[in-house]
Amino acid sequence: MEFNYNYKRNSRVSGQGNQAQMSFSPDLTREPTYFRGHLRQNIAFREAISALHDVVVSDLRFQPQDKTAYKAWAAQRDEIDWQLVAAQRQEVTHKLQALQSELTDLHHRSSSRLAPFYRARQQYFDYLYRRDYDAWFVLDPVITVHPDEVFFECFSQDESSYGRLGASYNVFDQVNEFACGTTNVDYSAALYDEFQKIRSYRQTLLEVDPSGFEVETTGMAAYKEVKIDLPDTWVRGFLQVSSAMALPAIQFDLHPMDIYNLCFALRRRREKHGPRSLRYHLTPGEPIRMVLEPWDQEIVCARSIYQGSKPEMVRVWGRRRLLTLERLIPVARKFTVHLLGTGLPSFYVADLNDMSFTLGLSGWTANDWSRAGNFDLMAPRAQVDDWTKRQVFEALKQNWVEAPATLAKRLGLDQSIVLGALSAYTQAGRAIYDLNQQVYRVRELARDPLPMDKLRFSNEREAQATRFLDQNAVRVSQSSVDGKGTLLLQGTVQHRDKTFQPIVAIDRDERMVHGECTCNWHQQNKLFKGPCEHILALRMQHNRATS
């Protein structure tokens, strides 16, 4: 999926002495959106925008070692050894050894002579990396200007972490001018370095440059054009996290020192085997307890009492992504945690007085086929006709931000209908649910409508698995746990006049470690191309039955 951006110039920071000006360059192809204001809470903003940068560049996917050179060397050695073995005469063996010694000497001499060239080439590549470092960022952050706040949004390179920084107008001494809307801003690596220079004794002006919209079309040649071809999984993951924010969740507050203790424990130890989850034990009226597996290390949050009405135990994975919150600990008053359930997305909202930072985490760092199918988060949750949905969205655009109850009262509609309409626009990337203030906001993720038919499912097998569940064609006949904690599922899937019998094994890290099915697709491909639709449907049915 290709995104086209058009910037007048690079974002920049200028100034000297006790003044600094941060100017973000907006996308000129979108509706005019601009903002100007002098920062009042400099340090808190610096730490929050730096944490947002950490989300942008984070990539915790497993990076296997490149063994190409070793395999080429091993193949060469094997070939030489076979030649030596094949040599039947001692004379030939001695000749080969002499030639090999001479060849080795030539290689050493060649490497010695080419060493300056290799160093120069590496320096050139390092220069290109530094110069074009911005190209390593998948998508420039999205900035939205609303009547009550300005907020930035971004998504990580590994498609697992979402960051949102919201700054109310109380963060600024004065707001000179602004125009509400959403735009992509040029967020360069050099700009991050300049953020680190923000100080409390320096007056800092934050600006989304409005002058770029005053240039005539004939000047387009002078603009900075950026075309990014994004994988559908990246956009799909962004929409999944946005949709998950509007779902009911278990909510509680953590003291900043509790987050510090968690990050400290994660940095001290490195797991070598599973399970690698973080367990939250929530008992009404008692301190919240966090348990790190596989060591069963318990962290008691004595300052944080669970206020819920019933006991809960929730497991989440990809816990090292929480280290992003470290920079916020000194400036945060509290962290509000929203847990959707075991293996589902989770959200951590840092209260920074007049600012809020939301870190959204998908179920796992790597949401591949072996994990639970969270793609049904983008499924419609209420049937609302298109005319009513447009009516609700146009009403929301009038105020840009509004609570569902207030919007329903203003339109004279049932609140469930309003929520269904807003949920559809959230899934389409045109609205967002603000966890901090519990309101919906207008936010157009892209200039053009997103192709939702391509984004809801990553392949046809996922779509077919969902259809099986909608048709009530899936049955779980057996569910058991072996001595190693592996969950074994067996069941049937009815499709037309055929009955398929899938089998799934899920380990303690919620990974699909084994799967079988009687369908032809699985018999031909096994699990090399991922599970078939019947295996997916069996696991989804079990998840829905136990959630």
Hey, what domains does the chain have and what are their CATH numbers?
30-59+138-226 (3.10.150.10), 380-454 (1.10.10.10), 459-546 (3.10.450)
Distances (CA, A) of 113 to 9, 102, 107, 110, 293: 44, 17, 10, 5, 53
Q: According to the model, what pLDDT value does residue 119 have?
A: 82
Q: Say what the pLDDT of residue 84 is.
A: 56
* Half-sphere exposure (Cβ direction) of 261: Cα atoms closer than 13 Å: 18
Answer whether residue 319 shows pLDDT above 60.
yes
- Ranking 48-52, 344-348, 375-379, 397-401 by mean pLDDT, the lowest is 375-379
Length of the chain equals 547
**What is d(CA 393, CA 381) in angstroms, rounded to the nearest whole number?**
17
The Cα–Cα gap between 228 and 483 comes to: 49
Omega before residue 26 within 30° of 0, cis: no
Identify whether the C-beta of residue 15 lies closer than 8 Å to the C-beta of residue 21: yes
Average pLDDT over residues 351-372: 76
Q: What is the pTM of this model?
A: 0.74
- Asked if residue 467 has pLDDT above 90, the reply is no
Residues 201-211 pLDDT 10s: 878 888 777 65
112-126 pLDDT, tens digit per residue, is 888 888 788 777 666
Greater model confidence, 56 or 279: 279
Q: Judging by DSSP bridges, how do beta strands 346-352 and 334-339 pair with one another?
A: antiparallel
Q: What is the pLDDT of residue 273?
A: 81
Task: Please report, to the nearest 10 degrees, the dihedral formed by the alpha carbons of residues 287, 288, 290, 296 taken in order.
Answer: 50
Whether residue 395 contacts residue 431, with contact meaning beta carbons closer than 8 Å, is answered with no
Question: Tokens representing 412?
Answer: 């004279």
Which residues, including other chains, have CB under 8 Å from residue 381's CB and lie 6 or more apart?
420, 423
Q: Which pLDDT band holds residue 225 (cuts at 50, 70, 90)?
A: very low
493 to each of 175, 463, 471, 476, 547, how far by Cα in Å? 60, 15, 10, 9, 20
pLDDT band at residue 226 under the 50/70/90 scheme: very low
Of 292 and 206, the one with more pLDDT: 292
SS (H, E, C) 292-348: ECCCCEEEEEEEEECCCCCCEEEEECCHHHHHHHHHHHHHCCEEEEEECCCCCCEEE
pLDDT at 213: 38
Q: Which residue has the higher pLDDT, 371 or 391?
A: 391
Q: CA-CA distance, 500 to 86, in Å (whole number)?
A: 55
Q: Of the ranges 165-179, 186-200, 299-313, 408-422, which one carries the lowest mean pLDDT score?
A: 186-200
Query: Predicted confidence band at 214 (pLDDT cuts at 50, 70, 90)?
Result: very low
Does the pLDDT at position 504 exceed 70?
Answer: yes
| Between 228 and 465, the higher pLDDT residue | 465
And the tokens for 518? 């009687």
Residue 315: per-residue pLDDT: 92
